[in-house]
């Protein structure tokens, strides 16, 4: 977690009409608590992103955190990088997130420079990169626009550079999909979410978070030109892939 935050009770009261989920002020205020209690393995993934940066960041290269929210992955990257003269570029299109992210980064004293930018990752040119992180962001992008974003990332990576792509995924095998969903809902219950909160959040995310299968991710990454792309972390319907140029 980036820092302690307010408790997430956004979906705790019955809502007549559940509005589409968006990354506004109310979500930004509770975001560290929300993502920690909703994404199995979130802390482990952040910690490994730091380690991967230690291994793959190249001297004089940019490291991108696309869909940075409050900058949790940015901080992991900043503290994991050991290469010289790197710069982190952290982008999110939610002004509420970016405003808070900038404050959090300002409070951190590590010396790797960070540019925190409000913008659309679909309109961002990736250049001179050794690391690109999409930590649970691509799932919110219009599916037809995903390949162009990955192509842009591939083009902007140096040879030997890596993309870390964490996503909620689905499984084509229905019994397996049901089991993973049940286990996931139980994870949320154990973390204090009621059945009402789980159901209303699910409705709010319909057509907002659109998952792909792991096969779709692998094939798309291979099609973009990555020489290797495979899963390094998985828990239920949440996984992270590493793709190497």
Q: What residue ranges bind ligand GEK (CB under 6 A)?
A: 23, 35, 67-69, 72-73, 91-94, 97, 120-122, 135-137, 140-141
Per DSSP, helices labelled H in 39-173 are 42-56, 72-80, 95-107, 143-156
Cβ proximity to ligand GEK: between 47 and 227 the closer is 47
For residue 140, the minimal CB distance to ligand GEK (Å) is 4
Per the CB < 8 A criterion, the answer to whether 212 and 170 are in contact is yes
Cβ proximity to ligand GEK: between 61 and 98 the closer is 98
For residue 229, the minimal CB distance to ligand GEK (Å) is 19
Cβ proximity to ligand GEK: between 57 and 65 the closer is 65
Q: How far is CA 20 from the centre of its chain?
A: 19
For residue 243, the minimal CB distance to ligand GEK (Å) is 17
Cβ atoms within 10 Å, residue 110 = 14
Rounded to whole angstroms, the Cα distance separating 17 from 158 reads 47
168 three-class SS: strand
Residue nearest to ligand GEK (CB): 67
Rounded to whole angstroms, the Cα distance separating 167 from 236 reads 11
Cβ proximity to ligand GEK: between 78 and 160 the closer is 78
Rounded to whole angstroms, the Cα distance separating 129 from 54 reads 14
For residue 94, the minimal CB distance to ligand GEK (Å) is 4
For residue 204, the minimal CB distance to ligand GEK (Å) is 12
Cβ proximity to ligand GEK: between 97 and 116 the closer is 97
């Amino acid at each position: 977690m980036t820092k302690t935050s307010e408790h997430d009770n956004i979906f705790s009261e019955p809502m007549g009409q559940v509005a589409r989920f968006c990354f506004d002020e109310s979500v930004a205020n509770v975001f560290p608590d929300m993502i920690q209690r909703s994404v199995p393995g979130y802390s482990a993934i952040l910690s490994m992103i730091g380690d991967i940066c230690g291994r793959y960041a190249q001297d004089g290269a940019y490291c991108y955190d696309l869909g940075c929210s409050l900058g949790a992955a940015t901080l992991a990257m900043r503290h994991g990088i050991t290469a010289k003269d790197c710069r982190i570029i952290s982008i999110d299109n939610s002004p509420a997130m970016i405003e808070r992210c900038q404050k959090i980064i300002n409070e951190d004293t590590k010396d790797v420079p960070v540019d925190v930018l409000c913008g659309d990752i679909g309109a961002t040119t990736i250049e001179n990169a050794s690391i690109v992180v999409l930590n649970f962001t691509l799932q919110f992008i219009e599916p037809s626009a995903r390949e162009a974003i990955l192509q842009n990332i591939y083009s902007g990576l140096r040879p030997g550079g890596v993309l870390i792509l964490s996503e909620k995924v689905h499984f084509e095998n229905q019994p397996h999909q049901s089991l993973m969903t049940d286990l996931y809902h139980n994870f949320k219950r154990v973390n204090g979410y009621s059945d009402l909160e789980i159901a209303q959040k699910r409705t709010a995310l319909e057509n907002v978070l659109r998952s792909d299968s792991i096969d779709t991710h692998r094939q798309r990454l291979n099609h973009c030109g990555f020489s290797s792309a495979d899963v390094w972390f998985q828990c239920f319907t949440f996984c992270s892939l590493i793709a190497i140029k």
